[in-house]
Amino acid sequence: MELYQMHKLEPVFFVKELANVSHYDLPRDFVFEGESHDSWELTYVDRGQIAISVKGEKYLLKQGELVFYTPGEFHSIHLVENKPASIIVVTFICDSPGMDAFQEKILFLGAEEKRCLSTIVQEAEQTYTHFDNIPPFVNMEKSSDSPFGSEQIIKNALEQLFIYICRRGDNIGMDTRMLTGSLGHTGPLAEQVKAYMQEHLAEKLTLEQISEAHNISVSQLKRSFKDQTGKSVIAYLIDLRIRAAKRLIKEGELNFTQIAEAVGYDNIYYFSAMFKKQTGKTPTEYSRSVRR
């Protein structure tokens, strides 16, 4: 009689090969006209913000956000208003069906995902030497004194990163970040207002302040935003604040008072009341539910 029943471990992601792990500081004069290749690639914005071009459209990618490019997908990077930025790029081969979940989405990284990405970069820096390490040109070569097991750590951390992203499911559709005209200025008024509210989320925004920033009247702001989104400006702003609060609670790095301030509420009691009204749970109840 056997005492133990063995279980076969089924991986949901299996990274086969690695072509590039690089941290790039992009100067003001940076220009990258684009490329395509037969591998997957992810780009994470470590500092600042960038504009990416995919399938002929431009999208805004902000600090703390990540995007995947599918094999064969032409993509390029542009600076926004010539402001420098820092990015992390990882290029790899993975045929797992689960990769389909990452297409055409901008992904927010939480604490666990950021730790995985940090591990990948730190191990790669000890494992590989780079030649022509100027984006997009890179040629990694394994160092003779690379740490024991470093490539397996990179592989495991990359696969864990994918799993954590899928578990959290915290993303936005790329169409909400579409750019038109000059970089850094979205076309429809609603998209400009959305981007403005996101960038000033920690502030006590008013309709007057938002309308003044876009050189329109309050009545025009309210009417145009509702026509284009189906929501009022205030309803969208509240939803934006609560979604950001939920993400910060999941990350678990700030207390409730700090989270309230980070999303524009200077009164913890009002924040808690608004959070419960929107989610049906208090911040404490929500925190418990996501940590079970």
Cα-based distances in Å from 49 to 134, 192, 194, 233, 235: 18, 15, 16, 24, 26
Return the CATH number of the domain spanning residue range 15-174. 2.60.120.280
The domain ranges of the chain are: 15-174, 189-290
Average pLDDT over residues 17-34: 89
pLDDT at 136: 61
What pLDDT was estimated at residue 211?
87
Rounded to whole angstroms, the Cα distance separating 199 from 234 reads 16
Mean pLDDT of the chain: 88
Q: What is the homologous superfamily of the domain 189-290 according to CATH?
A: Homeodomain-like (1.10.10.60)
Residues 6 or more apart whose Cβ sits within 8 Å of residue 127: 142, 143, 146, 147, 150, 151, 154
Task: For residues 83 and 102, give the distance between their C-alpha atoms in angstroms, rounded to a whole number.
Answer: 28
Is residue 188's pLDDT more than 70?
no
Band of the pLDDT at 96, cuts 50, 70, 90?
very high
Is the pTM above the cut of 0.95?
Answer: no
pLDDT in tens, 195-228: 889 889 999 999 999 988 877 788 888 888 887 7
Higher local confidence (pLDDT), 270 or 139:
270
Q: Which of 78-82, 107-111, 184-188, 253-257 shows the lowest mean pLDDT across its residues? A: 184-188
Q: Is the pLDDT of residue 180 over 70?
A: no
